[in-house]
Amino acid sequence: MQKLQAVSIQQVGTAGWHDYDHWLVLVLMFLLVGGLVMVASSSIALADRLHDNPLHYFQRQAIAAVLGLGLAFVIVRVPVALWQKLGVPLLALAIILLTLVLVPGVGREVNGSVRWIKLGPINFQASELAKLCIISYVAAYLAPLAETRHLSFRMFMPPLAVMTLLSGLLLLEPDYGTVVVIFLTTVGVLFLAGIPAGRFFLWLPVMVSALVALAVIPSYRLARLKAFIDPWQDPFNSGYQLIQSLIAFGRGEWFGVGLGSSVQKLFYLTQAHTDFIFAIAAEELGLLFSLLLASAFLFFIWRAFTIAAYAHQLRNYFAAYMAYGIGLLIGIQAFIHMGVNVGLLPTKGLTLPLFSYGANSIVVSCMLVAILLRIDLENRYPRGIRINRRGDGLAPA
């Protein structure tokens, strides 16, 4: 092992697939393949009506998954240190893209929100890439502070200011769901980085109050909150989505009604292939599959935090904060999606990472998993590895 660690880290990128975390790869493939199956099932009626092709959304999702895996194959070979150098440029890119979305004629409006930039046949969603950019920036900013003995609250102000700026741009789209995800992820990473607890818990209620105020000031968001409290007060308007979602869970029982046999996807539950795919999966495959799907995300979070903790022990602080951010981002978004579907949280349009329909979400999520796999590899071979001449794995120097 001592000889193994004496080799240059720049050679890590040529490792074989079996040198990466097998369980993490299996979770990735389970979510991607399971998501493709459920997108095909949940969208077949809608795709046939709108596009005269029952597999329209499945085909687009499959292309996105292949593209995401292709990018992951490239990114997993990129040294983690490069992402640290790109922290500020990526932040600048996110701000530029989120600003361009708001420019008339550039941003494309869908369902009342301007979140996409039209690039020929492709709709590019800037907010998805912004998630990766903010994690990279926050981790790069915090890494040099990791060994500072006397951390002050003032040291953590730049990431908070950046988060506020990005949140403001996102609210103009509007995209409140992404604001919540970015806010909770950033705050979580700051807390794990050692922000002074006293000041942190004094400041946190102020920010939470601001988020709550933003949630209730617009009339449509207030209606969603009222529907969340008692959806049966207005079952055919504000409470409609939640009621139909709960019906889907009720019909699924333990083992589901069978793949492809959902009734709720037949125009009862709107956005069945995106915001409410978890409910359709529960209806068709039952509570047991729902628990398995939730367990997959719990395992991902645990694995990300384990990788982050090990990187912290190795004093690779950027990698640690990056891994914490990735685990928090995907975990929080998955929790919100599932919480909305089961009525635990107010209705909010967020996809289930790596599972719901959405090309931008799939591609960026694959990129995040690839970065996490790379961090794990560099944790286990902190001074690099060498590939043997047969090219079939690692070998000592």
What is the per-residue DSSP string for 321-374? Answer: HHHHHHHHHHHHHHHHHHHHHHTSS-------TTTSS-HHHHHHHHHHHHHHHH
- 90 pLDDT band (50/70/90 cuts)? very high
Write down the pLDDT at residue 386.
46
Write down the pLDDT at residue 223.
64
Q: Which long-range contacts (CB under 8 A, 24 or more apart) does 234-242 make?
A: 241/269, 241/270, 241/276, 241/347, 242/343, 242/347
Tell me the average pLDDT across 118-134.
Answer: 85
Residues contacting 254, CB < 8 A, separation 6+: 286, 287, 288
Write down the pLDDT at residue 146.
81
Q: Give the count of alpha carbons within 13 A of 288, CB side only.
A: 6
Is residue 392's pLDDT more than 80? no
Q: pLDDT tens digit string along 4-26?
A: 333 334 444 455 566 778 899 99
Write down the pLDDT at residue 226.
65
Tell me the average pLDDT across 265-269.
Answer: 89
Tokens (6 digits) for 287: 């509570």
Of 87-91, 228-232, 253-257, 376-380, give the lowest mean pLDDT range.
228-232
Tell me the average pLDDT across 330-358.
Answer: 90
Amino acid at 62: A
Residue 363's alpha-carbon distances to 96, 132, 199, 258, 394, in angstroms, are: 20, 11, 37, 29, 29
Amino acid at 376: D
Residue 250's alpha-carbon distances to 14, 229, 246, 284, 342, in angstroms, are: 49, 19, 6, 11, 10
Write down the pLDDT at residue 121.
73
- 243 pLDDT band (50/70/90 cuts)? confident
| CB-CB contact of 372 with 304 (8 Å) | yes
Of 55-64, 113-122, 197-206, give the lowest mean pLDDT range.
197-206
Q: What is the pTM of this model?
A: 0.87
Residue 171 and residue 103: Cα distance in Å, rounded?
Answer: 14
Give one word for 172, left, alpha or beta, with left for phi > 0 and alpha for psi -120 to 50: alpha
Tell me the average pLDDT across 197-221.
Answer: 66
Write down the pLDDT at residue 169.
87
Q: Give the count of alpha carbons within 13 A of 122, CB side only.
A: 11
